[in-house]
Structure 1
Amino acid sequence: MLVPSGEMERARELLKSVPQEEPPGNGIAVTLEPNTEGAHCAVHGQHATQACKRCGNFLCERCDGADAGLCEDCADLKDSNAQVQRGRKRKVVAWLILLFMFGPLLLIILSNLLFALLH
């Protein structure tokens, strides 16, 4: 936690005033569904039925990414990351194909040049 040095004592007092609860069971934290009572979707303004799995924004039934449990922003990020990874895989495969096709030829040319330079 980052606290300015002049505010350290106040931060400690605030932390002491917050009741500390023990996690249930054997110390393993349990993730509960967020309380959506009174919460509204930021996009559609309707009553929220769930929260985004990634960022915690409230989602309503009309949200496109609600079936996957993601808000529109997180769904867009997921799609763009998948496209970037697909592009990287294509580049690697293209370089491997070129290396496989022209690698032996380049080795022969380099070995002939080296042989000619040494003799």
Structure 2
Amino acid sequence: MNFDRFLDHFDDSTITTMKKHYWTAKQMIRSKLGKKEDEHLEASDQDLDTKLNLFRSVRDTSFNLLSNIENYQAYLLDAILVENELGKYFKDRGKKEKREQTKTVLTASGRCLIYNSHQRAAIRQPLVR
């Protein structure tokens, strides 16, 4: 999955990290000296924190959704392969069967399973995109 490239865009650079450490140290010194923070600055931080929490929530949800879609694709591919092989097996056994009624049922069941596997494969294509 190429989600790692998506996360690289949001990794912190050295300058951003230094700014964070500077801001944290500055706030700690201000609080030790007993200086009050500006109420507008606190409101601004609260708004930013809310937006950052929303962003992280959306990012985590998107990551989980992508992960679930990949798992679904893998399970869907397994179902397609198994259903197709079972259909081929039923058709093959139907051709070798001596009783006409059993031969018809096995062949028809095999065709249905193969058709269903092709339909599942058609569903999978948009998910791959």
Considering the TM-score relative to the shorter chain, is it more than 0.5?
Answer: no
TM bucket (normalised to shorter chain) is 0.3 to 0.5
Q: Which has the higher helix share?
A: 2
Q: TM-score, normalised by structure 2?
A: 0.35
Higher RCO (CA 8 Å, separation ≥ 6 residues): 2
Q: TM-score, normalised by structure 1?
A: 0.38
